Structure 1
Amino acid sequence: MSTYAIGDIQGCLDPLLRLLDKIDFDPSHDRLWIAGDLVNRGPSSLATLRYLYSLGNAVTAVLGNHDLHFIAVAYGHKRKGSFDTLDQLLKANDCEELIHWLRHCKLLHSDPTLGYTMVHAGIPPIWDLEQATAHAREVEAVLQSDYINDFLAEMYGNKPCQWKNKLIGNARLRLITNYFTRMRFCDADGLLDLDNKTAVSSGEFLPWFDHPQHACRNERIVFGHWAALEGQAAADNVIALDTGCVWGGCLTALRLEDGKLFRTRCKKN
Structure 2
Amino acid sequence: MTTRLPVLVLFIGAAYCLLPVAWVVIAATKSSSELFGTSTFVPGTALLSNIVELAGYRDGLFWRWAGNTAIYAGAGAAASAALSGLTGYALAKFRFPGRTAIFYVLLAGVLVPGVVLAVPQYLLLARIGLADSYAAVLLPSVVSPFGVYLARIYAAAAVPDPVLEVARTDGAGEWRIFAAVALPMMVPGLVTVFLFQFVAIWNNFLLPYIMLGDDRKFPLTVGLVTMLKQGNAQPALYNLVITGALLSVLPLIALFLSLQRYWRIDLMAGAVKG
Would you call these one fold, judging by a TM-score over 0.5? no
TM-score w.r.t. length of structure 2: 0.24
TM-score w.r.t. length of structure 1: 0.24
Higher helix content, 1 or 2: 2
Higher strand content, 1 or 2: 1
Q: In terms of Rg, which structure is larger?
A: 2
